[in-house]
């Protein structure tokens, strides 16, 4: 599918924005990884966007090589509400990664977490099954697939 620009999606869907069905995340995320196309996908295993709630912390970045793992599993991208590490490796992957920043410390997490739950990221609650649209202008969340 062709890339969709977030600015064009916003311009073409003001009613969805007014109703809260198309939401814009706060502009706090940095781009990592391959980002010549927009990150677009439904939040489902292996064909969408993985959303990780790191609690906004940058003292405990995510595990090593998340970009390569996501690429191998067929994800379109990763959105991390926290920091990542191994940025050079991530930048070599064909997966779009957005995070609050980078930090060299490794995660103190033990692989614990929940799947298919609501996550509060960037000033918006993201529900399982919603759609993410991202490019250099920002990140959008939609309850349904949208078009121009």
**Residue 86 is assigned to a ligand binding site:** yes
Decide: helix, strand or coil at residue 72: helix
Can you read off the two tokens belonging to residue 117? 């739950």
**Residue 135 is assigned to a ligand binding site:** no
Do 100 and 29 form a contact (C-beta atoms < 8 A)? yes
Q: What angle do CA 93, 53, 113 make, to 5 degrees?
A: 100
Can you read off the two tokens belonging to residue 119? 């996550």
Do 24 and 139 form a contact (C-beta atoms < 8 A)? yes
Binding residues for substrate are 85
Binding residues for Mg(2+) are 86
Binding residues are 85-86
């Amino acid at each position: 599918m062709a890339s969709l620009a977030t600015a064009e999606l916003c311009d073409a869907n003001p009613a969805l924005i007014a109703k809260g069905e198309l939401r814009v995340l706060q502009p706090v995320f940095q781009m990592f990884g391959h980002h010549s196309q927009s990150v677009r996908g439904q939040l489902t295993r292996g064909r969408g966007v993985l959303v990780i709630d790191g609690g906004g912390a940058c003292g405990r970045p995510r595990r090593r090589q998340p970009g390569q793992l996501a690429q191998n599993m067929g994800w379109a991208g990763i959105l991390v509400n926290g920091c990542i590490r191994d940025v050079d490796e991530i930048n070599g992957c064909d997966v779009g990664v957005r995070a609050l920043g980078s930090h060299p410390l490794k995660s103190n997490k033990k692989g614990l977490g929940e799947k298919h739950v609501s996550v509060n990221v960037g000033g918006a609650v993201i529900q399982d099954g919603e759609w993410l649209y991202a490019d250099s202008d920002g990140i959008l969340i939609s309850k349904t697939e949208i078009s121009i």
